[in-house]
Structure 1
Amino acid sequence: MPASTRWRRPRGGAIGAATSLALFTALIENPTGWLDPFMQGRTDNVALREAAFYAIGLTVVFLVLAALAALAIPKGKLQENRD
């Protein structure tokens, strides 16, 4: 691969996953508890389900932000930067 294009690869894809994992890990140890009345079924894993709910929610927020950022790039600008 030529050296001029080697450094133009997109970076930062793992930031969203690491942030969601950090939120999940923090909330599984210290659940907020306000979702308890809405949880049905087994009650021994409420902290796990609540942490997963917030982690997936954060991942969806990052997905929406990435889609909006991709739509915000004008079509002509992308071609100009590659030259």
Structure 2
Amino acid sequence: MNPVDADGREDHPLLHGWVRDIASRGEGELTAVVHEWHGGRLIRIAHIQPVNGVAWSTAADNIGPARQGATENAGARGMAETGGPNTPDAHTP
């Protein structure tokens, strides 16, 4: 297990890296791994922030590194999905 500070935050090796959640198949930046008590058990919760959308949490054991190149392509994908500058203008002849 990785070192944990007094507030229950784990110094995870993938922290602030691009990860994939096997449960949801979502990808995003690992923003935190915290240790929390639930039902008398200590569990590790990973917090993930995608490029666009709402952050989510999952069991820390469900995360792994995302495929190579995901970080570089994520911004372009996000811009295309939101109609950003990488999306062809529908009004252009």
More strand by share: 2
Greater relative contact order: 1 or 2 (C-alpha under 8 angstroms, separation 6 or more)?
1
TM-score by length of 2: 0.20
TM-score with structure 1 setting the length = 0.22
Q: Looking at CA atoms only, which structure, 1 or 2, has the larger radius of gyration?
A: 1
Larger helix fraction of residues: 1
